[in-house]
Each structure stands twice: as structure tokens, then as C-alpha cells.
Chains A and B, each alone.
Chain A
Amino acid sequence: MTPNPAEPEPGTAARQAVMALCADASRQELQAVLARLDVPPAEDLRAPETGLVMATGRIGGDGRPFHVGEVSVTRAAIRLADGATGFAYHLGRDRTKARLAAILDALWQEPARRTGVEAALAEAAARAEAERRQAARRTAATRVEFLTVARGED
């Protein structure tokens, strides 16, 4: 399959959003999420593996790509007993966490389980969102308000 991020299949954006949630979550959060769900046994399609992805930037922020440096990434691929497959690629070196996320990816792809997976992830999503909102509020408090000072005689 040729990668074509420009034209993803319908539903891909929702799957990407769940993957992003899992990437933001901690291992403990994903363990808690799976504990809330009825999970069939899973086998590894590929043993969880840590490797590298070369992070690319763009010259000037929006120009030709260049290589900034690598990021450590751990990937996992699993198959559930009922045949569904799931994948995960996460920053860092946590193989257990990547495998948990791959199981959640497989579960989410079955329409019947989708709502349950999203509900189980809601707490972790709210925690991540609250952290982002607080960071934005702290940053906002350091915004510079310039004052124009009149000089000279009027």
C-alpha cells in the first residue's frame, strides 16, 4: 500500500484521534481503560519493538524538509482472538504501553465496541485536556501587554 496521508479513508480521522489519545495517556491509564472493557485474548502479530523515526522539520517552518534528529518510538501489532488487528506507534520505549494501545486500536475498529472504548478512554482524555488547558492558562498569564508611553511636551 502506498502511504497517502492526504486522502485518508473515511473514519481514519476518528481512528487517528483515538490513537492520539492513547499516545498522550500513561501506561497506567491504558491499563485502567482495558480493565473496564471485555477484551478477548490477543496475540502478537509482531513483538513490540523499540526503534527510531527520523523527525523532519521544514526550512523556515514551511519550506523544504530537513532532518532535525531522531525520536525513539515503540510499535506493537496484535490480533484479537476474533480476528481484529490493531497497531500502535508511540514516542518512547514503553513496549507494554504500545501493546495496550494496539489492543485498544483493534477493539475500536469493531463498530459494536467503538462507543465502549471511547467511553473507557474519556477519563484519560479529560485529564490530558485539563493539563493542556492549565498549561495554556499559565502561558496566557505571561502574555506581554504593551503600553504606549507618551513622551515629550504637549
Chain B
Amino acid sequence: MYVAVKGGEAAIDNAHRLLAEARRGDPAVPELSVAQIREQMALLVDRVMTEGSLYDPDLAALALKQARGDVVEAVFLVRAYRTTLSRFGASVPVDTGQMAVARRVSATFKDLPGGQVLGPTFDYTHRLIDFALAAESEIEPAAEADPRADAAICPRVTDLLAQDGLIEASPPDAGAPVGDLTREPVDYPADRALRLQALARGDEGFVLGLAYSTQRGFGRTHPFVGEIRVGDVAVEFVPEELGFAVPLGRVRLTECQMVNQFKGSGTAPPQFTRGYGLSFGQSERKAMAMALVDRALRAEELGEPVVSPAQDQEFVLAHCDSLQATGFVEHLKLPHYVDFQAELELVRRLRAEFERKSESVEMQEAAE
């Protein structure tokens, strides 16, 4: 029998009013503006854009304000918003080789054409709490220098290695349609393009944990950071009514080229293989983790045994989305009164049977 449960409307309304007040916090403390979040919590905004799978810094900042800083809740709000919009189409593929680089480092080549530039980074900071930040303070203006002659041209590190055939080439663009997991459910096995889409919007913590597992031996891939670059890239779109590429503006992206060992096979000579990561904003940890997991998921293609979680594409793709994960985990707190009542009845009946059996065994033993 299905029993509908009603009630709680007033409690829900009042809970939401209470939420609004809790969100605001102490009214004696000035309220945060969306622009303040966008400018001063920029990496958090980048994470919400990446996992919300929608590049819009103001919207991500607003979602964070509404979500009281809860990343997964903010991702939920951004994803819900995008469902209200129609899609004009797909962009021309962005050319990260033309990026206006704000940061670029390589762990494999010291002397890169274009140079290594650190940009705004936490690397090499001492990770000591800076109590001076607790007070509003003047900051020293950033240093400036004349860019060197080669600064405008930054070839990808992987292009340098590719010249000698020491590293595999990127999979060629045969013009085949590109799968989109927001339009059709994922069919396994999923191709690399679809896997990268899932990883790009996947939860940073989950993808990071999987990436770490490959380093600790669960699907080892012997990685080196060939290159990480962060910077602004032009996005273009070809509207049907115009028939040429219209520049939409620039987005900040982070790209990671991971270079991995490969001992070769019967048909392929030994060469370096690659993993690739690309994410919105400045999000190096995410791009690196994505590249490591991308490479791990290529195990089957490269003739490696598939034995670890990070190599199992159904395990990775089906569980990396924070919104899907939170939906299923958090639904457990919603009323399950009827389900539970049924379970309770069952357990009572089983216990009664158990007791009846024990009693009859005791009686038998006593009789013998």
C-alpha cells in the first residue's frame, strides 16, 4: 500500500527564511558583493565554473554566495541554470598554442622557447599564515619587465618532442562527430573525447584522489609534467546566419600536458605517451589530475593490464560527477518512512522465526 505523507510546508518556509539569515551571517559584518567573490575568491569561482561546466565568472560567484560557499551546492545551481538556456552551437576548437600566457612551467625541459614564467602562483611560498592579510593593507604593485623577444611564441612542449618521434602524436581530427554526455547517456566503452569531457566537469577531489592512486601504484603511468600553461584564449563561434567565425571574447584556461613512459609493443616502438588536461580558469591541480587519469584510462588502448580503479572507465566516469554523487548520497536524508516501515516489519518477522527455531532446538535438546 502506498501512503502519501503530507505536511511540513510551514517548517520548510521557515527553514528557508532561517537559511537566508544564516547566509547573511552577523549583520554587523558588511555583506559580500558578487564582485568581491569574483575578484577575491577567484580560484573558488574557477572551480565552480569548471565543475559546473559553464564559463561565467559572475554567475559562479553569485552561485557561491547563494550556496554559502558550498562548492557542490554552487555547482548544482550553475548546472540548473544552464538547463534554462538554449544552446547556440559548439565553438571552433580553442587553440591553446595561441594562449596569452600568464603562467607556464615545464618539469621536463629547462630551456623552453618562450621561457618558463611563474605568474601568480602559490608554489615556493612558505605556507605560513600571513596575519597581515587579516587587516586591510596596501599591496606592493607587481613587478614589470620587458617581455623577451620570444615571449609571444610559446610552442607546446609536446610539439618539441614530437619532432623526433619520441612522443606519440595527438589523435588526429578525422572530422567525426564529437560525443556529448550532456545530450546522450554514456555508452561504455566511451571514447577518449567523452572521457575527457567527463573528467573536465568531474569533482576535483575525486579526480585528484584517483590521480594520486596511480602514483602510489594502482595503475602506475610514470608521469612527468611536460607543461602546464595558464592564460587567456580567444573563443570563436560560427553562427549559421554569418558563416564565419565570430570572436566571442577570451576565456582563461589551464592546460596540462603530462608525458608518460611507454615501453612499446610488438607494433609500436618505445616512445613517450601522453595524458591531457584542460580546465576553466586557473585550476592547475584539476588539470594535472585530469591528465593523469586520462592517461590511466588509456590502459586498454596501450595494451596495459586494466587492474586498478583509475584504469576502469566505468568506475571513473560513473562516479566522478559531484552533482550525480551528491544527488544519490543526499537523497538518503529525505523521508523513507514507508520503505523503512517495510524493512522493520521484515526484520520483526525474521526475528520471531529465529526465536521460534531456537526455542524448538532447546526443547529438543532438553528432551534428549
* Chain A interface (Cβ < 8 Å from any Cβ of B): 1-5, 8-9, 12, 16, 19-20, 23-24, 49-73, 75, 77, 87, 89-93, 132, 134-144, 146
Task: Report which residue of A64, A90, A134, A137 has the largest number of chain B beta carbons within 10 angstroms of its beta carbon.
Answer: A64
Smallest beta-carbon distance B287→chain A, Å: 11
A55 to B55, Cβ gap below 8 A? yes
B249 at the interface (CB under 8 A from A): yes
| A69–B54 touching, CB < 8 Å | yes
Binary CB contact string for chain B from 169 to 180 against chain A (1 if under 8 A, 0 otherwise): 111111010111
CB contact under 8 A between A89 and B142, given known A55-B55, A62-B170? no
Query: What 4 A-B pairs have minimum CB-CB distances, sorted nearest first?
Result: A63-B170, A60-B170, A91-B249, A66-B193
Interchain CA distance A29-B179 in the complex, whole Å: 39
Interface flag for B119 (CB, 8 Å): yes
> B47 near A: Cβ within 8 Å?
no
Which residues from chain A contact B263 at a C-beta distance below 8 Å?
A: none
| Residue from A59, A71, A72, A87 within 8 A of B91 (CB atoms) | A71
Taking the nearest CB of chain B, how far is it from the CB of A142, in angstroms? 4
Q: Are the CB atoms of A1 and B237 closer together than 8 Å?
A: no
User: Please, which residues of chain A bring their CB within 8 A of the CB of B180?
Assistant: 54, 67
Question: Cβ of A134: which chain B residues have Cβ within 8 Å of it?
Answer: 144
- Is residue B85 within 8 Å, beta carbon to beta carbon, of the partner chain? yes
**Do B170 and A20 have beta carbons less than 8 Å apart?**
no
Q: Give 11 A-B contacts (CB < 8 Å), ordered by A residue.
A: A3-B240, A8-B244, A19-B246, A59-B193, A61-B257, A65-B173, A71-B235, A90-B249, A93-B59, A139-B151, A143-B148
B58 CB within 8 Å of chain A = yes
Q: How far is the CB of A71 from chain B (nearest CB, A)?
A: 4
Cβ-defined contact, A139 with B246, below 8 A: no
- Establish whether residues A136 and B147, one from each chain, have CB atoms under 8 Å apart when the complex forms: yes
Q: Does B126 contact A (CB under 8 A)?
A: no
- Note all chain A residues with C-beta closer than 8 A to B171: 59-60, 63-64
Choose, from B274-282, B319-327, B354-362, the stretch at the interface.
B274-282
Q: A55-B235, A65-B93, A92-B58 are in contact. Are A9 and B244 (CB under 8 A)?
A: yes
Q: Which residues of A contact B339 (CB under 8 A)?
A: none
- Is B19 an interface residue when CB atoms closer than 8 A count as contact? no
User: Which chain A residues lie closer than 8 Å to B174 at the CB level?
Assistant: 64
Q: Once bound together, how far apart are the Cα atoms of A16 and B15, in whole Å?
A: 52
Contacting pair B170 A139 (CB below 8 A): no
Please judge, given known A-B contacts A59-B276, A144-B116, whether A135 and B82 are in contact too, CB under 8 Å: no
Q: Interface extent on B, as a size class?
A: 35 or more
CB-contact partner of A63 in B49, B58, B172, B234, under 8 A: B172
Q: Which of B49, B86, B101, B193 contacts A64 (CB 8 A)?
A: B193
Is residue B336 within 8 Å, beta carbon to beta carbon, of the partner chain? no
Answer yes or no: B107 CB below 8 A from chain A CBs.
Answer: no
Chain A, interface SS category: mixed
- Judged by a CB distance under 8 angstroms, whether B68 is at the interface is no
Segment touching A, from B26-34, B195-203, B212-220, B344-352: B195-203
Q: Is the CB of A87 within 8 A of B237?
A: no
Q: For B115, what are the chain A residues with a Cβ–Cβ distance below 8 Å?
A: 143-144
Contact B146 A70 (CB under 8 A): no
Chain A residue nearest to B99 in the complex (CB): A61
**Which residues of chain B come closer than 8 Å to A5, judged between CB atoms?**
92, 236, 238, 244-245
The answer for the CA separation of A61 and B229 in the assembled complex, in Å, is: 11
> What is the distance, in angstroms, from A87's C-beta to the closest C-beta of chain B?
6
A5-B245, A64-B174 given; name 15 further pairs at CB < 8 Å. A2-B243, A3-B239, A3-B240, A24-B249, A51-B86, A54-B89, A64-B172, A67-B178, A69-B201, A90-B249, A135-B102, A137-B145, A138-B143, A139-B119, A141-B142
Interface centre among B88, B118, B248 (most CB of A within 10 A): B248
Q: Which of A16, A135, A142 has the most CB of B within 10 A?
A: A142
Cα A140 to Cα B249 with chains together (Å): 23
Q: Would you give the shortest CB distance from A103 to chain B, in whole angstroms?
A: 16
Instruction: Please name all residues of chain B whose beta carbon is closer than 8 Å to the beta carbon of A9 when the two chains form the complex.
Output: 244
Residues on the A chain within 8 Å of B156, using CB: 61-62
Q: Which of A12, A63, A66, A90 contacts B244 (CB 8 A)?
A: A12
Is residue B158 within 8 Å, beta carbon to beta carbon, of the partner chain?
yes
> With A57-B278, A89-B239 known to touch, is A70 a contact of B192 (CB < 8 Å)?
no
Chain A residue nearest to B96 (CB atoms) is A61
> How far is it, in angstroms, between the C-alpha of A23 and the C-alpha of B87 when the chains are bound?
19
